[in-house]
Amino acid sequence: MAYLTKYSTTRISSQTSELLDRPLTADELALALKTSKTGKSPGPDGLPVRYYKIYTAILSPHLLTAYNDLAEGQPLPTQSLCANITILPKEGKDTDLCSSYRPISLLNCDLKLFAKILAERLKPFLPALVHADQVGFVPGREARDNTMRTLQLMHHARRSSQELALLSTDAEKAFDRVDWDFISLSLIRIGLGPHLRAWIGALYGDATARVCVNGVFTAPFPIRNGTRQGCPLSPLLFVLTLEPFLEAIRLNSDISGVQVGPQHHKVAAYADDLLFFVTKPEVSLPAIMVAFRDYGRLTNLKINYLKSHILNVSVPDSRAQALKPYFAFTWAADKIKYLGIWLSSQSSHLFRDNFPPLLTLIQRDLANWNYPHISWLGRIAVIKMNVQPRLLYLLQTIPIDLPRAFLASLRSLVATYIWRGKRPRTSYQVLTRSRAAGGLALPNFSLYHQACHLQRVVEWSREGSVKLWRAVEQELVGRPMTVLPWLPLKVGRKLANSSPYVGATYGIWRRIAIKFNLTSFPSPMTPVIHNEDYLPGLDPHSVRRLILTPTPRILHFFDASARRSLTDIMQDRHVSFLHSFHYAQIRHYFDGIPQQHQLGRPLWTFERICHSTGPLSHGLSLLYTLLRDATPAIPPPYMGKWESVLNITLSDDQWSKICELTHHCSTSSKLQETAYKVLSFWYRTPDIINRYDPQVPALCWRCNDALGDMLHIWWECQIIRPFWARIYDILKEFIDPLPEFSPAALLLHHNNYSIASYKRTLAIRVLNTAKALIPLFWRQLTPPPLTLWFTRMEELHSIEHLIFKASDRLPLYSEKWSNWVLRSSTTSFRALL
Ligand SMILES: [Zn+2]
């Protein structure tokens, strides 16, 4: 307790504590259920999440009563607390060793729901209780906050000749080890109320588990330690319990970190992944060891020395060598891995150590995924699921500018994979467009790279950010980050170059700001403080007397394009001579700006994002979409081709409807793929092949009578037309009014229906199934037989039945398919085939 009295320094208020103690509500339970995934293994009682989802109405009141009774200190029945532990072998390890197996404990679902409710309740208060050093499991914080901060600190230490070494420690099974009594005391110390503590105690106090060995369960045994895997509350409790240790490090005057202005940076944490910024290593390292020992005695936390790494950043070599024998850590030669990225002792190696190796890895993975049965859309999905997340993680965590050559080789790697090394049939520009704009939403990595840097520009611009990396950058730049992106180029560039990472982001920002219409210079966002173009503003207090905000900008002096008067600005405040003087100065400044029309205009989208406050949720995808859709909208070439083939003109709205229906035509990705291939002129018709290879006749292979162009092969050929006529007869059974009998209506779904109502019809399925048969009979003299079409429809029918059933949407299935069930077996229908 003495430890906690000393180092557990933040508490929640008594009001908050009461708020956290109020009875659990049906809404909270409903939310927890809604966000629980079905399809996972249940606990010892065998009841899966689905059971609770289906019978919510019946179970909810009982569950709530049971949960709320626990607040009075009643223990949970032993059976409900029991967990099943299953042992899974770790891949590629020796199966004879205990350490080669990973235990997974399966809890009962009612318990997991309970833990989830408590976790959701606690989460909003974590940021206030946990210092910004810790970014794991705290809402609004993420891994890249730590990596960006570390890179900045390394740069700063080198530049300011502070002798820095990085120590990254590995805690042995940290989550499972922490002693329950210590957790319990920490919770009292931070001021949690009796109910919340009783609830948490019910979950953790008397836990038991049994192990499943070769399919047989052992007798249950008690667990005294720790937080548990698979329990959503565990990581939050762990983070809270670790906080006193981190505070002990911060308060320990023997441990020196990197000094940046007034701030002293000693440690960064991502849950139990700790990184120490160590200066004066001769004194600091032993002090850190003592701190670990003290904390370990109380909590069982242990450090694995061999798996802890030290990287020398700027300590003179001779002294680093002298330290080695005293510490059992692994001394890294020139880089250490932290949160999945390599931190290099030389900042110039950062790119080399991280990006090309990932490219090699991606190349190897794509080679492994190069099975012939993976379809074209499947390959695009592989890029999105396998390549995109790993690349985005690097792009977000390492804020550097990338060489063009890297992005180019990435792009060619992706293209080679998608097109199996052959010549692309659809351009990269088209594929990367959104689906509604006629593409396939293939990720454009160079836009993602720019979006990652824009995300930083947004984080700079927003008021009230508490991110530590931003504070370090601000200290290096020497101006508020809120003004930096919006300053005149000459000043901005000079300031940004005080750090390579700020410089990289600033450079990219200025390169793309005008190109993508993100802003203008000047813009309403231009600051009137710390801006050399407005000299009186270099003393910010003068302007802040008028505008009561930390960063007064031009926009604060305008109201719907009109300049605000002094009385309007001052509202009820007393207007002094000084106020009038400052106002006159600013008016004079505005009058001298050549692009007057930019000053009072409404904010553009990106500016609006920067001008908002609070954390930016889904920032990256938001900014990526912004950039992608701002790219000059030349329609995909295939749209023009269709218009000339069909001799019609379609509006943008009509095209986006066609695109939408193409992508949502069915649950079968095979049908979707064919639909998109038809739309995008993927298929090589004789007239096209003839252009490459004059040996091949340009005539239709079926009738040998006309030019084999797109329209002929798919529609006009005398051999294929009867096929469509019969499909059209069948269509009469399933849709009323009928779309017209034309290639635009039957091949592209250009019709008078709304998207939503057409999607619900069977017509779209009838047509897509028919369409998909034509490539199957490519180069054959006969049209596809209707019996085959019928078989395909039956296959689609059974697949959709399964899919809708599995996702609890059977009514939707019936709406679509009841007509089919009714008619497809009648003799009159069979006669159509
Ligand atoms: Zn023909």
Q: Can you tell me the mean pLDDT for 26-37?
A: 85
Inform me whether the pLDDT recorded for 227 exceeds 60: no
| Residues 799, 787: Cα–Cα separation, whole Å | 19
469-506 residues labelled b (16+ CB within 10 A) or e (exposed): bbbbbbbbbebbbbbbbbbeeebbeebbebbbbbbbbb
Torsion of CA 150, 151, 154, 159, to 10 degrees: -140
Cβ atoms of 401 and 451 within 8 Å: the answer is no
Cβ atoms of 55 and 109 within 8 Å: the answer is no
**DSSP per-residue string spanning 577-625:** HHHHHHHHHHHHHHHT-S-GGGTSSPPPHHHHHHHS-S--TTHHHHHHH
698 C-alpha to ligand 1 centroid (Å): 11
Of the candidates 137, 153, 155, 135, the residue with the CA atom closest to the CA atom of residue 145: 135
768 C-alpha to ligand 1 centroid (Å): 21
646 C-alpha to ligand 1 centroid (Å): 17
pLDDT band for 184, please (50, 70, 90 cuts). Answer: confident
- pLDDT tens-digit profile of 563-601? 999 999 998 899 999 999 999 999 999 999 988 888 999
pLDDT of residue 81: 64
199 C-alpha to ligand 1 centroid (Å): 76
709 C-alpha to ligand 1 centroid (Å): 9
790 C-alpha to ligand 1 centroid (Å): 24
DSSP annotation of 90 reads: P
Q: Tokens 């949407």 — which residue?
A: 809
| Residues 649, 743: Cα–Cα separation, whole Å | 14
702 C-alpha to ligand 1 centroid (Å): 5
| Residues 42, 36: Cα–Cα separation, whole Å | 12
The phi and psi torsions of 363 (rounded to 5 degrees) equal -60, -45
391 C-alpha to ligand 1 centroid (Å): 48
CB proximity list for 247: less than 8 A, separation 6 or greater: 7, 8, 9, 131
714 C-alpha to ligand 1 centroid (Å): 9
pLDDT band for 409, please (50, 70, 90 cuts). Answer: very high
| Residues 784, 790: Cα–Cα separation, whole Å | 11
Cβ atoms of 484 and 507 within 8 Å: the answer is no
Collapsing DSSP states into helix, strand and coil, what is residue 35? coil
| Residues 670, 467: Cα–Cα separation, whole Å | 46
Lowest mean pLDDT among 176-185, 237-246, 667-676: 176-185
687 C-alpha to ligand 1 centroid (Å): 12
* pLDDT above 70: percentage of residues in the chain: 93
151 C-alpha to ligand 1 centroid (Å): 66
Q: Which residues pair with 265 in a beta bridge?
A: 258
Cβ atoms of 167 and 285 within 8 Å: the answer is yes
Q: Which amino acid is at 609?
A: I
Collapsing DSSP states into helix, strand and coil, what is residue 632? coil
832 C-alpha to ligand 1 centroid (Å): 24
pLDDT of residue 8: 84
Widest CA span of the chain, in angstroms? 96
Element housing 209 (H / E): strand 208-213
pLDDT of residue 397: 96
Q: Is 716 exposed, middle or buried (0-12, 13-18, 19+ CB in 10 A)?
A: middle
| Residues 579, 317: Cα–Cα separation, whole Å | 59
Residues 664, 665, 667, 673, CA torsion sign: negative
- pLDDT tens-digit profile of 734-758? 888 999 999 999 999 999 999 888 8
Inform me whether the pLDDT recorded for 175 exceeds 80: no
pLDDT of residue 313: 94
309 C-alpha to ligand 1 centroid (Å): 71
pLDDT of residue 629: 86
Cis peptide before 522 (omega within 30 of 0): yes
375 C-alpha to ligand 1 centroid (Å): 28
Q: Can you tell me the mean pLDDT for 393-420?
A: 94
- pLDDT tens-digit profile of 605-657? 999 999 998 778 889 999 999 999 887 667 889 999 999 999 999 998 899 89
680 C-alpha to ligand 1 centroid (Å): 21
| Residues 738, 752: Cα–Cα separation, whole Å | 10
| Mode of pairing for the β-strands spanning 221-222 and 335-338 | unpaired
369 C-alpha to ligand 1 centroid (Å): 39
706 C-alpha to ligand 1 centroid (Å): 6
723 C-alpha to ligand 1 centroid (Å): 13
748 C-alpha to ligand 1 centroid (Å): 20
688 C-alpha to ligand 1 centroid (Å): 15
Average pLDDT along the chain: 88
Lowest mean pLDDT among 223-227, 408-412, 631-635: 223-227
Lowest mean pLDDT among 43-47, 310-314, 781-785: 43-47
CB neighbourhood size of 641 (10 A): 13
CA distance to 581, 679, 741, 774, 784, per residue, from 719 (Å): 87, 22, 17, 12, 10
| Residues 751, 757: Cα–Cα separation, whole Å | 11
184-201 residues labelled b (16+ CB within 10 A) or e (exposed): bbbbebbbbbebbbbbbb
- pLDDT tens-digit profile of 478-514? 999 999 999 999 999 999 999 999 999 999 999 999 9
- pLDDT tens-digit profile of 348-357? 899 999 999 9
Of the candidates 190, 194, 200, 248, the residue with the CA atom closest to the CA atom of residue 226: 200
730 C-alpha to ligand 1 centroid (Å): 23
Q: How far is CA 721 from the centre of its chain?
A: 48
pLDDT of residue 94: 74
| Residues 282, 509: Cα–Cα separation, whole Å | 42
- pLDDT tens-digit profile of 112-121? 888 899 999 9
Q: Can you tell me the mean pLDDT for 248-261?
A: 95
pLDDT of residue 530: 94
Q: Can you tell me the mean pLDDT for 803-826?
A: 87
pLDDT of residue 80: 64
Residues 432, 435, 437, 439, CA torsion sign: positive
712 C-alpha to ligand 1 centroid (Å): 6
Lowest mean pLDDT among 145-149, 534-538, 639-643: 534-538
> What is the model's pTM?
0.88
720 C-alpha to ligand 1 centroid (Å): 7
833 C-alpha to ligand 1 centroid (Å): 22
Cβ atoms of 283 and 306 within 8 Å: the answer is no
224 C-alpha to ligand 1 centroid (Å): 79
| Residues 68, 84: Cα–Cα separation, whole Å | 25
741 C-alpha to ligand 1 centroid (Å): 19
CA distance to 151, 644, 745, per residue, from 648 (Å): 57, 7, 12
- pLDDT tens-digit profile of 203-218? 776 555 666 666 666 6
703 C-alpha to ligand 1 centroid (Å): 4
742 C-alpha to ligand 1 centroid (Å): 17
696 C-alpha to ligand 1 centroid (Å): 15
8 C-alpha to ligand 1 centroid (Å): 83
- Joined tokens for residue 533: 């173009």
677 C-alpha to ligand 1 centroid (Å): 20
Lowest mean pLDDT among 172-176, 343-347, 762-766: 172-176
pLDDT of residue 209: 61
Q: How far is CA 182 from the centre of its chain?
A: 35
716 C-alpha to ligand 1 centroid (Å): 7
- pLDDT tens-digit profile of 425-482? 888 888 998 888 888 999 999 999 999 999 999 999 998 888 999 999 999 999 999 9
pLDDT of residue 174: 64
793 C-alpha to ligand 1 centroid (Å): 26
705 C-alpha to ligand 1 centroid (Å): 6
721 C-alpha to ligand 1 centroid (Å): 9
421 C-alpha to ligand 1 centroid (Å): 31
Inform me whether the pLDDT recorded for 98 exceeds 80: no
747 C-alpha to ligand 1 centroid (Å): 17
Q: Which runs of consecutive H residues, i.e. helices, occur in 11-160?
A: 14-21, 26-34, 49-54, 56-70, 78-81, 109-122, 126-129, 143-159
780 C-alpha to ligand 1 centroid (Å): 11
| Residues 477, 483: Cα–Cα separation, whole Å | 11
650 C-alpha to ligand 1 centroid (Å): 27
Lowest mean pLDDT among 93-102, 436-445, 694-703: 93-102
Q: Which amino acid is at 264?
A: H
- Joined tokens for residue 371: 């099975």
pLDDT of residue 228: 57
559-584 residues labelled b (16+ CB within 10 A) or e (exposed): eeeeebeeeebbeeeeeeeebeebbe
Inform me whether the pLDDT recorded for 225 exceeds 70: no
CA distance to 149, 347, 351, 396, 473, per residue, from 342 (Å): 14, 11, 9, 14, 21
CB neighbourhood size of 124 (10 A): 13
pLDDT of residue 503: 97
Angle at 598 (CA atoms; ends 594, 602), nearest 5 degrees = 165
694 C-alpha to ligand 1 centroid (Å): 19
715 C-alpha to ligand 1 centroid (Å): 9
| Mode of pairing for the β-strands spanning 330-331 and 309-312 | parallel
Q: Can you tell me the mean pLDDT for 775-788?
A: 93
Inform me whether the pLDDT recorded for 833 exceeds 70: yes
pLDDT of residue 67: 79
